[in-house]
Structure 1
Amino acid sequence: MRLLKLIFIVALIALQYRLWFGKNSLPDYWHLQSDVVRQAETNTRLTQRNQVLAADIADLREGQVALEERARNELGLIKRHETFFRIVPVKQTTN
């Protein structure tokens, strides 16, 4: 009977060791769980960015107004017979 108890205790300790310190242990599982949550947040953020980019692409393919607006803002283009005025605010100086 004593030998059976000893074998049972040794087996229990061996199983507990593998559970806490072995490969695929509980701390590994918890770390992997946090990695999955972090990756899901990254995927959500990238999906939203892709939707915005897809809307921009569709707008540029279909609408002339969006293309003209982007050319004016990013490239500084103006139409023929059009005059461009830039108004620069005056800085207030204190004496």
Structure 2
Amino acid sequence: MRLITLALAALLLLIQYPLWLGKGGWLRVKDLEQQVEAAHDKNEELRGRNAKLDSEVRDLKDGTGAVEERARYELSMIKQNEIYVQILRKGQAAGDGVTPALPASEKPEKPARR
């Protein structure tokens, strides 16, 4: 009787091994599900970034507002028949030609429109 019990216990362990630790076992499936979930999260993040970039590209192709804004802030350009007004900080001479570096939190002033 004891031999049959040991044989059945060994058979039960042999049957359970593939279920838990085998190629298609529950632990492997759980690990793969976590990887799939992480990939879905990453894809959603990338979709959002792509939508933002697509919007910016469409705005640059179709609209002139973004191009004009970049030209004003980054290149200090003005439109024809506009008057440019520059506001100097304390201690800065009007003709010194040196523009102090602005901190990242400050944006340069927009040129005045006429």
Question: 1:71 matched to which residue of 2?
Answer: 71
* Matched length: 88
How far off is 1:33 after superposition? 0.7
- 84 and 53 in structure 1: CA distance in 2 versus 1, 3 angstrom threshold: farther
| Correspondence for 2:84 | 83
Shift in Å, 1:67 = 0.8
Distance 1:86 1:40 in 2: 50
Identity %: 30
The verdict on how the C-alpha distance between 1:52 and 1:24 changes in structure 2, with shifts beyond 3 A counting, is same
More helix, by proportion: 1
Q: 2:43 is aligned with what amino acid?
A: N
What TM-score do the two structures reach when normalised by structure 1? 0.69
Report the alpha carbon displacement of residue 17 of structure 1 after superposing the two structures with TM: 1.0
Change (3 A) 1:20 1:77: same
The Cα of 1:3 is off from its aligned counterpart by 8.1
20-29 vs 37-46, which moves further: 20-29
Distance 1:34 1:63, change over 3 A: same
TM-score (norm 2): 0.59
C-alpha deviation, 1:6, in angstroms: 6.3
Residue in 2 aligned with 1:50?
50
- Gap change, CA 1:72 and 1:9, over 3 Å in 2: same
Aligned partners of 2:23 and 2:54: how far apart in 1?
Answer: 43
Residue segments in structure 1 that go unaligned for 5+ positions in a row:
90-95
Query: Which structure ranks higher in relative contact order (CA pairs < 8 Å, sequence separation ≥ 6)?
Result: 2
